[in-house]
Structure formats: C-alpha cells, structure tokens
Amino acid sequence: MSVMKVIEIMADSDKSWEDATKNAVSHAAKSIKHIKSAFVQSQSVVVKDGGVSSFRVNVKITFEVK
C-alpha cells in the first residue's frame, strides 16, 4: 500500500494550456519527488486588448509519500 498526497498548483504560459501544465509539473518537481500524476482541474485565459495574452491552469499534483 502506498501513501499519496495531492497538492494544488496554479500555473500560466503565454503559449498554451499544455505548456502551462508542463510548467506546473516542472515547478512542482523542483521540490517534490515521486510525482505520479497531474490532473488539470480548470483552465482559463487572460484577455488583453481583445486577445488572449496568457493561458492559466489549476493542476492537482499527486505524489507518493515515502
């Protein structure tokens, strides 16, 4: 049996939601080991001057506690 923990991270990117998700996982991996999954809970965009200026995601990161 494994003990898992879930944290929530908000991240953004000026390219895409996929890139924002990669940024969230990459940032979490700097201080957390044994990441098992990432679940994108929500997506949004920032609109500036009538266009999309950045993509945002709210990601739940699941990792194993050893």
The CATH number of the domain where 29 resides is what? 3.30.1660.10
In the predicted model, is pLDDT for residue 66 greater than 90?
Answer: no
* Residue 20: its H or E element: helix 17-29
Q: What global pTM score does this model have?
A: 0.88
Q: Which domain holds residue 52?
A: 3-65
Mean pLDDT computed over 34-57: 97
In the predicted model, is pLDDT for residue 57 greater than 90?
Answer: yes
Q: How many folded domains does the chain comprise?
A: 1
User: pLDDT class for 40, splitting at 50, 70, 90?
Assistant: very high
Please tell me the distance from the alpha carbon of residue 25 to that of residue 38, in angstroms, as a whole number: 7
Structure confidence at residue 22 (pLDDT): 97
User: pLDDT class for 1, splitting at 50, 70, 90?
Assistant: confident
Please tell me the distance from the alpha carbon of residue 22 to that of residue 58, in angstroms, as a whole number: 12
